[in-house]
Amino acid sequence: MIPRVSIVGLGKLGASMVAAIASRGGEVIGVDVNAASVEAVAAGRAPVQETDLDATLAANRARIRATLDVGEAVRDSAITFVIVPTPSDARGAFAFDAAARAFEAIGTALRKKETYHVVVLTSTVLPGTTRTALLPILERTSGKRVGPDIGLCYSPEFIALGSVIRDFLNPDFTLIGEVDARAGETLEAYYAQVMANHAPSRRMSLENAELAKISVNSYVTMKITFANMLAALCEAIPGADVDVVTHALGSDKRIGAKYLTGGLGYGGPCFPRDNVALAFLARSLGAPSLGPEATDAVNDSIPARVVARIAPLVPAGGTVGVLGLAYKPASHVIEEAQGTALVDACLAQGLRVVAFDPLVSALPNRGAGLSMAQAPADVVQAADVVVVATPDAAFAALDWPALLAAKPGLHVVDAWRLLRDRIPASAAARYHVLGRGPVPGSDPRAEARLAELWTAPGH
């Protein structure tokens, strides 16, 4: 029998966890301070946009309850997960006010509960937060001791927006930070019943788990940035091709091929802020912070580098077209998105921009320099230089030979080598690929610059 759990916070992650757990046969009580979210989940509807969320909630409605009342949820469950926002504060750390309020309400409810209950923080926080900031709230409001009376864990999920339900149920491993073995064992046993893939558990102290969570994202972004650094370097070496280099690099088992594609940088709600937070933590504690700072600085510099590359191609008074504004294909999220940053970098240079994204209909407050197109072909029609900013298959599927034939002055800048098989030889000179050097023999200056390193007198 899977124990009934409660989930406080019915957002992108929390509501998806409710649906995922119920789909595995577990009973779940969802809680939120937002009545509309509670109403939606109680009615088997998605409170937020996420792949399969609506259908999974509807199909498993019999095992799902939702309430505004934390007391009821805690009373009727054995484990409570807290998945509320922890937005970045002015220092770059994660603010935990919402988590503190949730812990107060849970602690107050636990005052009246006789049986052992485990509270699990799932929201992203920095090391020390769970033990030094949230544990005392739980003890004060419940009048009980964390350890003998109440279990406490920090256990984040490793999910990507757009595949939250699938990722939650099929993790590479479950990460469990625990105050003691009893709490950790309870959560590990619960995950073993609910997860679909028998993933191994990594159990450790609260602080180690808090650090491990943020390290995963920081490491992945470092890898992305390394590939992007190689892409920029390849552009200066005749005949170089970042895909050839990263393919070889990724074949090394110590490295692996995932997240090793040179292109535009990372973005979205998690990756950028986790690096900033890790750098803040390291600086504050007197440890080296250069790693995450450098990753971040390189990432932030990419839109300006791309603008420098395309500006010479834009005729006076001309227009740049941007295809892809969200931080990845099939997303509507523009937070820290490179396509959107590219639009802003172009506008800051005084360039006019026409943009399209299948799921982003507007970029507010950009002024008259930006116009939004209704279809990708309209961008091509209106622009002198088109940048493919996200690797969206819909952009590859356009009839590029016809579009290029109809506009003899059009240049295409492809950040992801998405169109490499779609451009006719007759238009090759107007096709610019990020991450590739000039064709050997086509750029004497680039060849001379490289040769000079090894042939100039004195070497």
Ligand X SMILES: NC(=O)c1ccc[n+]([C@@H]2O[C@H](COP(=O)([O-])OP(=O)(O)OC[C@H]3O[C@@H](n4cnc5c(N)ncnc54)[C@H](O)[C@@H]3O)[C@@H](O)[C@H]2O)c1
Active-site residues, by number, are: 270
- Of 134-142, 154-162, 221-229, 295-303, the window that binds ligand X (rule: CB under 6 A) is 154-162
Query: For residues 118 and 80, is the Cβ–Cβ distance under 8 A?
Result: yes
Q: Does 8 bind ligand X (CB under 6 A)?
A: yes
Work out how close the CB of 125 gets to ligand X at its nearest, in angstroms, rounded to a whole number.
Answer: 7
Phi, psi of 217 (to 5 degrees): -65, -40
Query: For residues 298 and 228, is the Cβ–Cβ distance under 8 A?
Result: yes
- Of 4-12, 192-200, 247-255, 369-377, the window that binds ligand X (rule: CB under 6 A) is 4-12
Q: Does 119 bind ligand X (CB under 6 A)?
A: no
Q: How far apart are CA 336 and CA 334, in angstroms?
A: 6
Residues 79-108 close enough to bind ligand X by CB under 6 A: 83-86, 98, 101-102
Work out how close the CB of 55 gets to ligand X at its nearest, in angstroms, rounded to a whole number.
Answer: 19
Q: Does 34 bind ligand X (CB under 6 A)?
A: yes
Q: Does 142 bind ligand X (CB under 6 A)?
A: no
Q: Does 14 bind ligand X (CB under 6 A)?
A: yes
- Of 32-40, 245-253, 280-288, 363-371, the window that binds ligand X (rule: CB under 6 A) is 32-40
Query: In the set 159, 195, 353, 385, which binds ligand X (CB under 6 A)?
Result: 159
Q: Does 28 bind ligand X (CB under 6 A)?
A: no
Q: Does 276 bind ligand X (CB under 6 A)?
A: no
Q: How far apart are CA 429 and CA 433, in angstroms?
A: 11
- Of 3-11, 250-258, 364-372, 415-423, the window that binds ligand X (rule: CB under 6 A) is 3-11
Give the pair of three-digit tokens for residue 37: 């979210």
CB neighbours of residue 9 within 10 Å: 25
Q: How far apart are CA 214 and CA 233, in angstroms?
A: 29
- Of 156-164, 171-179, 284-292, 430-438, the window that binds ligand X (rule: CB under 6 A) is 156-164
Residues 161-200 close enough to bind ligand X by CB under 6 A: 161
SS (HEC) of 214-271: HHHHHHHHHHHHHHHHHHHHHCCCCCCEHHHHHHHHHHCCCCCCCCCCCCCCCCCCCH
Strand partners, 176: 203
Query: For residues 218 and 281, is the Cβ–Cβ distance under 8 A?
Result: no
Work out how close the CB of 197 gets to ligand X at its nearest, in angstroms, rounded to a whole number.
Answer: 19
Q: How far apart are CA 338 and CA 331, in angstroms?
A: 13
Q: How far apart are CA 317 and CA 204, in angstroms?
A: 59
Q: How far apart are CA 347 and CA 344, in angstroms?
A: 5
Q: What residue number has its CB nearest to ligand X? A: 11
Question: Looking at beta carbons only, is 267 or 435 nearer to ligand X?
Answer: 267
Q: How far apart are CA 435 and CA 423, in angstroms?
A: 17
Residues 6+ apart with CB under 8 A from 406: none
Q: Does 133 bind ligand X (CB under 6 A)?
A: no
Q: What is the DSSP letter of 92?
A: S
Query: In the set 9, 107, 151, 376, which binds ligand X (CB under 6 A)?
Result: 9
Question: Looking at beta carbons only, is 2 or 95 nearer to ligand X?
Answer: 95
Task: List interacting residues with ligand X (CB under 6 A).
Answer: 8-14, 31-34, 37, 48, 83-86, 98, 101-102, 123-124, 156, 159, 161, 269-270
